[in-house]
Amino acid sequence: MPEPSVAIVGSGVAGAAAAIRLAELGVPVDLYEAVPEPQPIGAGLLLQPTGQQVLQAMGLLDGALALGQRLGRLYGDTPQGRTVLDMSYERLDASYFGLGIQRGALMGLLWQRLQQLGVPWHRGAAVDGFEQDDAGVTLRFARPRPVPARHAALILANGSFSRLRSGMKVRQHARTFPWGAVWTVLPVPPGFELNELRQRFRAARQMLGLMPVGCAQPQGEWGINLFWSLPLTELSHWRDTPGLDGLKRQMAELFPAAAPVVDGLHDASQLREARYADVWMECWHDGRVLAIGDCAHGMSPQLGQGANLALIDAHVLAQQAQTGADWPTVFARYTHHRSAHLRFYSQASRGLTPMFQSDAVVAPWLRDQFFGWGGRLPFIHKQSIATLAGTKTGWLFGRLKL
């Protein structure tokens, strides 16, 4: 009898990376994906030095560097010209930078590696539920896969809106965030500054982000990811009110210098909608079942950490699997090793997001008064850039070791 494999549900960043890291150790893995033909699409991502380190360990960093755009600085201000954020990676470490990359480019690299490793990737296989016992886990599928599958363990990597997560006997809650965004990738206009992620804010109600993100495939067209924040109440009907022209007018009023990029928007179908959820779990394991990625700790994208955290989850999981312990022990140790880092970023995201996406008045006012000023103090700047770089495991002390 062959050794029963580990099932991974979801082939986004978390699931694909976990499948790769485990397969590299020789662990038999089956990867299940609900979408019949997954497409390499999705918002531009800022890959932090921590996520880059995991890609390096997978042998995928050179490919990502060739497709992505190195970013040295994050700069955000108000229409009145008040600096809110001004962070340079090199002030933390001369070798650090953010990598702006299209999600499609990253997924292309991960999926190619999966195929090289020969990981069975079952597409169009939506997992509907599971039961675990002392010896393994049984997966049930939504039609058209009526036969349940038996596995040694189960890793849930099916995103923030997972309906499988509630099958874990762990205290948890997931709250859809009241704000979302529309985004797209547009061509780079001549003379555009490619070294920085640029943001413009009006209180916490309006936010335009422009991030150079390289190209989706070799020799492709280089792009800029445009991110426009919207409350969920407006996200569902922006095509009617204010419509594409109205939205473009709002963008141009907020940030006139962005006009050459915004001019690339000529059809509402270019803009994709993004909704996110804030996911909290008391721990991420329950016997033979583990949750990773957004399924375990979904958060708003304000801190630019979600894909990085997913990559680190996969890396730490493989480090624990390497010990050869049984799956419940591996998963319990994983929770222990991921705790400080994940708790810090969940708290930071919950604390900071209302300053950037909300109807609040006082929080963004305080942000505008103090962030720019505080950022000029070396200690505060270092803490802010360490937070952005993904290395922090505590509010004052603690640095992630991979």
Ligand X SMILES: Cc1cc2nc3c(=O)[nH]c(=O)nc-3n(C[C@H](O)[C@H](O)[C@H](O)COP(=O)(O)OP(=O)(O)OC[C@H]3O[C@@H](n4cnc5c(N)ncnc54)[C@H](O)[C@@H]3O)c2cc1C
b/e 267-278 (16+ beta carbons within 10 angstroms → b): eeeebeebebbb
Q: Which of 32, 121, 238, 327 binds ligand X (CB under 6 A)?
A: 32
User: How near is the Cβ of 126 to ligand X at its closest, in Å?
Assistant: 4
Residues 6, 7, 8, 14: which binds ligand X (CB under 6 A)? 14
The secondary structure of residue 211, as a DSSP letter, is E
User: Considering the rule CB under 6 A, would residue 22 count as an interface residue with ligand X?
Assistant: no
The residue (of 111 and 255) whose beta carbon lies closer to ligand X is 111
Interface stretch with ligand X, choices 58-66, 168-176, 246-254, 293-301 (CB under 6 A): 293-301
Structure tokens at 237: 């009907």
Per-residue mark of binding to ligand X, 182-211 (x: CB under 6 A)? -x----------------------------
Hey, how many other C-beta atoms are within 10 angstroms of the C-beta on 257? 11
Angstrom distance (rounded) from CA 222 to CA 185: 9
Pick 82 or 343: Cβ nearer ligand X:
343
User: Closer to ligand X at the Cβ: 132 or 308?
Assistant: 308
Q: Is 274 in the site for ligand X (CB under 6 A)?
A: yes
Q: What is the dihedral of CA 324, 326, 332, 338, to 10 degrees?
A: 30
Size of the site for ligand X (CB under 6 A): 34
Query: Is residue 256 within 8 Å of 272, Cβ to Cβ?
Result: no
Phi, psi of 134 (to 5 degrees): -65, -25
| 32 vs 89, beta carbon nearer ligand X | 32
Among the residue ranges 277-285, 303-311, 340-348, 370-378, the one whose residues contact ligand X (CB under 6 A): 303-311
The residue with its CB nearest to ligand X is 306
3-state secondary structure at position 113: helix
Among 67, 87, 157, 342, binds ligand X (CB under 6 A): 157
Strand partners, 223: 187, 214
Q: Where are the beta strands (DSSP E) in 282-326?
A: 285-286, 289-291
Residue 3: both structure tokens together = 């050794």
Q: What are the residues binding ligand X (CB under 6 A)?
A: 9-15, 32-35, 43, 45-46, 126-127, 157-159, 164, 181, 183, 274, 276, 293-295, 301, 304-308, 310
